């Protein structure tokens, strides 16, 4: 590849009494509206500000701890441009789309403030919650008064329609009340999926502002409605997640409040309840309903599988259950060895938006849903925390720069639901996610991907660094500044200066308030075949591709780490078992995967890509083009245009005569495709021996 224990039934029942008896106390959870208590009762009053995207500060089995989003400032460079577009274009325009398509009317109708009928699928409430989460992460980086005001207004309207029981859902109301939380409804009704996103959105917003209003609403649902009535107890009804999401949100709720009952509930859901008679197809598709630890490979709906793996990893990070870790390792190996697209995307099949068999990675038919690539990054972030292995950061980086970044247009107003690796706008026109041949659209009635992309870009600073007992880990590279502290409490600043990913040189200035011995672990990407590292001008360590380079010394003020990665373009081959890539190559430079769009080829190039080939040992040149696609690096690679006759027989007993003329192929970053006129595209290019 190009990348260099379950609870018993008795245990369930023994914990049921505390779960069933839990109830929401009629008092604010926090000490004041904006001076919230944070993790535990003895925590500092503003500790909510110091919690990461996932808060691992007290997770006993996390080798790496997160830093808060606010601790890292991404300065002018590659990601600053995307993040500015996210804040100034994507998030505001998506809010307008959500309003236009009735997502808030669904709440207002229940308060008697709108006469509009219910609109959207059963999971529509989650669209608002993910949008609020995106705003929460933005506000952790900077104050945006208009976005904050929009979010506060929406939150008040949402909380206003919560029922006294704690139930909150705009779909299962009125004539659908009788369907609530039936196990049959849970398989497809997304009630817990919606609340999971409410919890995640409310936690992100709380960590930005200290405002617990939406978080308390989520806790009322869990404490008043869910825990007393649903679970493993004799007088409780069973839970099946249907669409995994609630598991990781419950554990993040524990990390925010310190109440372990949320971890217990997540463990019960991950175990599955034998009282729910699911058929094999449901178990496969939903990736839930049976003990997570019985899973041996990835299958079914790709987003569900990724979210289930996230929740299971969170459960391991809090409990240390070895059977979970073993299963997670098995599934991670399956992902990286058999199921992962070169772009970091996952999900091969349109039918069921699902994983395929091992090595089933079609290009034109690739589903590669944006949410699945995001789920892949989220899971690997958790596996990175659990293991400290650079492999997981490599997967994160690949998905982020390619299969996730491709999901949002450069202007931030249109989105890819699916992200194929080959595309023909005429052939693809009938697909339900590419109306009229447009792969990017401003709205989908299933609009899970746009706000998911927005929350990912908004939370990005929180993924750059981790702390550990021995020091600091550097995962990602871009112009940025970290202002945080070591485990000792010693304040530290790390300033990165670079033109990454277009250039491979990084200068990191390390400064501490007081000199201290610790280890700075810098990730050496798996794609960098040759890397040099200097500390204060002297060569340091022996960098190994796909590992962290541990630089241990007594650090002082203004120590300088200089890293130089190998940025030579690389020809990438797929495993021979990947049938769709036989006889094809793709190009990679740094973390960027490149593709060929018809728009960029010579005027005499054919409209159909099968007649264009790359020379296997051809020359490759790189150029940065500031005026193309908001500024991108491009590759030129020698190739050929085949000349064939349209009158030639479809099949022939003899060898078909082929002739070709030389040409030059131009490749652009995959993330930037479909941002101009509609055009054919392919990542994997046929090659000829040269």
Mean pLDDT of all residues in 129-150: 98
Question: Does residue 31 have a pLDDT over 70?
Answer: no
pLDDT at 642: 82
Q: What is the pLDDT of residues 448-457, one digit of tens each?
A: 999 999 999 9
Confidence of residue 237 (pLDDT cuts 50, 70, 90): very high
Domain boundaries, the chain: 9-463, 465-564, 570-688
Residue 334 has, within 13 A of its CA and on its CB side, a CA count of 20
Positive or negative: CA dihedral 51, 53, 54, 56: negative
**Residue 301, SS3 per DSSP:** strand
Q: Which tens digit of pLDDT belongs to each residue from 146-190?
A: 999 999 999 999 999 999 999 999 999 999 999 999 999 999 999
N-term to C-term CA, the chain: 25
pLDDT of residue 645: 55
pLDDT (mean) for 356-363? 98
Mean pLDDT of all residues in the chain?
91
**Which comes out higher in pLDDT, residue 657 or 146?**
146
The answer to whether the CB of 675 falls within 8 A of the CB of 629 is yes
pLDDT of residue 13: 32
The pLDDT confidence band at residue 659, using thresholds 50, 70 and 90, is confident
Residue 442 has pLDDT above 50, yes or no: yes
pLDDT tens digits for range 242-296: 999 999 999 999 999 999 999 999 999 999 999 999 999 999 999 999 999 999 9
What percent of the chain is modeled with pLDDT above 70?
A: 90
DSSP 637-652: EEEEEEE--TTS-SS-
pLDDT band per the 50, 70, 90 thresholds, residue 192: very high
Confidence grade of residue 432 (pLDDT, cut at 50, 70, 90): low
Question: Would you say the C-alpha torsion 304, 309, 314, 320 has a positive or negative sign?
Answer: positive
- Higher per-residue confidence, 391 vs 688: 391
Q: What percent of the chain has pLDDT over 90?
A: 84
> Average of pLDDT values for 418-435?
77
pLDDT computed for residue 1 by the predictor: 43
Q: Which helix (H) or strand (E) holds 585?
A: strand 584-589
Residue 16's pLDDT band, with cuts at 50, 70 and 90, is very low
The answer to whether the peptide bond before residue 229 is cis (omega within 30 degrees of 0) is: no
Question: Which CATH number applies to 9-463: 1.10.150, 1.50.10, 1.10.1660, 1.20.950?
Answer: 1.50.10
What DSSP state is assigned to residue 8? P
Q: Which of 50, 75, 79 is nearest to 65 (CA)?
A: 50
CATH (one of 3.30.700, 2.60.40, 2.60.120, 3.40.30) for 465-564: 2.60.40
Q: Is this model's pTM higher than 0.85 or not?
A: yes
Mean pLDDT for 221-239 is 97
Say if residue 650's pLDDT is above 70: yes
d(CA 132, CA 175): 29
Measured CA to CA, the distance from residue 95 to residue 113 in angstroms comes to: 19
Does 32 have pLDDT greater than 50? no
Q: Do domains 9-463 and 465-564 have the same CATH topology?
A: no
What pLDDT band is residue 11 in, cutting at 50, 70 and 90?
Answer: very low
**Helix pair 302-319, 322-334: axis angle to 10 deg:** 150
Indicate if the pLDDT at residue 29 is higher than 50: no
Q: State yes or no: pLDDT of 596 exceeds 60.
A: yes
Give the pLDDT confidence of 85-128 residue by residue, as tens digits.
999 999 999 999 999 999 999 999 999 999 999 999 999 999 99
* pLDDT above 70 (res 143): yes
- Pairwise CA distance, residues 437 & 666, whole Å: 23
- Residue 647 binned pLDDT confidence (cut-offs 50, 70, 90): low
Burial 460-490 (b: 16+ CB within 10 A, else e): bbbbbbbbbeebbbbbbbbbbbbebbbeeee
314, pLDDT greater than 70: yes
Residue 23 has pLDDT above 80, yes or no: no
Instruction: Give the model's pLDDT for residue 604.
Output: 75
The whole-number average pLDDT for the span 311-338 is: 98
Region 177-206: what's the mean pLDDT? Answer: 98
- pLDDT value of residue 606: 72
């Amino acid at each position: 590849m190009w990348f260099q224990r379950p609870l018993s039934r008795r245990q369930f029942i023994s914990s049921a009494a505390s779960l069933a008896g839990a109830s929401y106390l009629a008092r604010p959870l926090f000490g004041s509206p904006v001076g919230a208590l944070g993790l535990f009762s003895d925590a500092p009053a503003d500790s909510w500000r110091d919690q990461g995207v996932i808060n691992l500060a007290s997770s006993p089995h996390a080798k790496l701890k997160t830093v808060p989003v606010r601790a890292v400032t991404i300065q002018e460079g590659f990601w600053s441009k995307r993040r500015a577009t996210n804040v100034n274009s994507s998030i505001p325009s998506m809010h307008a789309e959500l309003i236009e398509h009735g997502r808030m009317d669904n709440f207002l109708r229940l308060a008697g403030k709108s006469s509009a009928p219910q609109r959207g699928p059963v999971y529509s409430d989650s669209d608002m919650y993910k949008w609020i989460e995106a705003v929460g992460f933005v506000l952790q980086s900077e104050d945006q008064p208009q976005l904050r005001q929009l979010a506060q207004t929406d939150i008040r309207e949402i909380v206003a329609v919560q029922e006294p029981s704690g139930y909150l859902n705009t779909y299962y109301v009125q004539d659908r009340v009788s369907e609530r939380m039936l196990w049959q409804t849970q398989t497809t009704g997304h009630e817990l999926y919606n609340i999971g996103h409410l919890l995640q959105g409310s936690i992100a917003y709380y960590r930005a502002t200290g405002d617990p209003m939406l978080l308390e609403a989520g806790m009322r649902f869990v404490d008043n409605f869910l825990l007393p009535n649903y679970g493993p107890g004799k007088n409780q009804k069973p839970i099946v997640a249907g669409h995994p999401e609630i598991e990781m949100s419950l554990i993040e709720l524990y990390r925010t409040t310190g109440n372990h009952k949320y971890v217990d509930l997540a463990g019960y859901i991950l175990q599955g309840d034998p009282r729910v008679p699911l058929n094999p197809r449901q178990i496969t598709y939903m990736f839930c309903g049976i003990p997570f630890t019985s899973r041996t490979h990835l299958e079914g709906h790709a987003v569900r599988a990724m979210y289930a793996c996230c929740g299971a990893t969170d459960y391991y990070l809090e409990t240390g259950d070895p059977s979970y870790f073993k299963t997670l390792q098995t599934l991670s190996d399956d992902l990286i060895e058999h199921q992962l697209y070169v772009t970091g995307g996952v999900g091969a099949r349109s039918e069921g938006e699902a994983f395929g068999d091992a090595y089933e990675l079609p290009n034109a038919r690739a589903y590669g849903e944006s949410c699945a690539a995001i789920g892949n990054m989220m899971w690997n972030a958790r596996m990175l925390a659990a293991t400290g292995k650079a492999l997981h950061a490599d997967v994160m980086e690949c998905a982020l720069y390619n299969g996730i970044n491709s999901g949002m247009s450069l202007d931030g107003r249109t989105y890819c639901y699916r992200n194929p690796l080959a595309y023909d706008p005429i052939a693809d026109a009938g697909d339900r996610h590419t109306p009229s041949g447009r792969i990017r659209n401003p709205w989908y009635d299933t609009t899970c991907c746009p706000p998911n992309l927005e929350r990912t870009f908004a939370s990005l600073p929180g993924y750059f660094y981790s702390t550990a007992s021995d020091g600091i880990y550097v995962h990602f590279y871009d112009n940025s500044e970290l202002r945080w502290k070591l485990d000792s409490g010693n304040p530290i600043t790390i300033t990165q200066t670079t033109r990454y990913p277009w250039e491979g040189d990084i200068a990191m200035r390390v400064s501490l308030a007081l000199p201290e011995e610790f280890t700075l672990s810098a990730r050496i990407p798996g794609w960098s075949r040759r890397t040099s590292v200097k500390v204060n001008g002297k060569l340091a360590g022996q960098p190994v591709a796909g590992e962290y380079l541990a630089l241990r010394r007594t650090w002082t003020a203004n120590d300088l780490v200089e890293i130089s990665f190998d940025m030579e373009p690389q020809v990438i081959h797929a495993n021979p078992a990947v049938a769709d890539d036989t006889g094809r190559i793709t190009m990679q430079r740094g973390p960027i995967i490149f593709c060929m769009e018809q728009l960029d080829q010579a005027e005499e190039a054919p409209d159909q890509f099968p007649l264009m080939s790359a020379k296997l040992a051809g020359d490759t040149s790189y150029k940065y083009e500031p005026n193309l696609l908001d500024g991108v690096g491009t590759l030129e690679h020698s190739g050929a245009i085949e000349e064939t006759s349209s009158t030639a027989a479809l099949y022939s007993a003899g060898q078909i005569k082929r002739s070709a003329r030389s040409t030059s192929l131009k490749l652009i970053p995959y993330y930037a495709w479909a941002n101009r006129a509609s055009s054919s595209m392919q990542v994997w290019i046929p090659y000829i021996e040269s």
